[in-house]
């Protein structure tokens, strides 16, 4: 099939079998390798991207479901060579160790902040509950999201 959808606000058109995963379309066809494959079955959250602003698993999304959709990947958060507020906060708060979970973690946090500019710890933990980190404590990750939320609010005034 030929599927047309938006990736980071750019219209893309791909020729693909309908049962091909969004994860493979992004990594193999579009060379957007920020999205990671951990478990491949919806358990780890490493493949998290945004679909129309909502967090989804790229490993459980197929080409046939994509027509007209807006996908945001980690590459869409900032211009090449720059970091957006969330990425920067993760680096500053030492919320990244091996980094495998980080892009998914940041996109789940992004989805939360789009709806809730001032989340408390419970909301943050709930929003990140589908993202597993094998390395760092979640403490730094929660701190990073709080910091980004604060900086985003300050930037908005």
Partner 1 sequence: MNWYTPVTMEELAAALAQGGESSRVIAGGTDYTIHLRQGKANPGALIYPGRIPALREIMLTEDSLRIGAMATMAELSLALAAVPEFAAIADAAGGVGSPQIRSKATLVGNLCNASPAGDMLPIAKLYDMVLEVLDGNGRLTDVSVSDFFLGPGKTALQPGQAVTAVRANRTAVTGWVSAFHKIGFRSYVSIARIGMGVLLHIDAAGVISDARLTLGAVANVPIRVYAAERLMQGKPLDRAMLEKVTAVVSRTVHDNCRPANRLYKTEAARGLCADVFAQLEKRMS
Q: Which residues sit at the interface with ligand FES, rule CB under 6 A? A: 37-40, 42-47, 57, 59, 96-102, 133-136
Residue 66 Cβ vs ligand FES, minimum distance, rounded to whole Å? 16
DSSP annotation of 28 reads I
Helix 85-92 to helix 138-156 angle, to the nearest 10 degrees?
Answer: 140
Interaction of residue 43 with ligand FAD, rule CB under 6 A: yes
Residue 157 Cβ vs ligand FES, minimum distance, rounded to whole Å? 32
| Secondary element (H or E) of residue 14 | strand 10-15
Buried b vs exposed e over 17-39: b needs ≥16 C-beta within 10 Å? eeebbbbbbbbeebebebbbebe
Q: How many residues contact ligand FAD, by CB under 6 A?
A: 3
The binding site for partner 1 (CB under 8 A) comprises: 1, 17-19, 21, 40-42, 45, 48, 51, 54-57, 59-62, 64-65, 67-68, 108, 111, 126-127, 129-131
Binding site for ligand FAD (CB under 6 A): 41-43
């Amino acid at each position: 099939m030929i599927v047309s959808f938006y990736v980071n606000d750019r219209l893309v058109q791909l020729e693909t079998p309908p049962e091909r995963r969004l994860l493979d379309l992004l990594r193999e066809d579009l060379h957007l390798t920020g999205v990671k494959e951990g478990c491949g079955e919806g358990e780890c959250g490493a493949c998290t991207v945004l679909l129309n602003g909502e967090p989804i698993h790229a490993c459980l999304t197929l080409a046939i479901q994509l027509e007209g959709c807006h996908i945001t990947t980690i590459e869409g958060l900032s211009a090449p060579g720059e970091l957006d507020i969330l990425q920067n906060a993760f680096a500053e708060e030492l919320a990244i160790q091996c980094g495998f979970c980080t892009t998914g973690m940041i996109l789940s946090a992004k989805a939360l902040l789009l709806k809730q500019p001032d989340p408390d710890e419970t909301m943050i933990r709930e929003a990140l509950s589908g993202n597993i980190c094998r390395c760092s404590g979640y403490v730094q990750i929660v701190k990073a999201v709080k910091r980004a939320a604060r900086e985003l609010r300050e930037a908005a005034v």
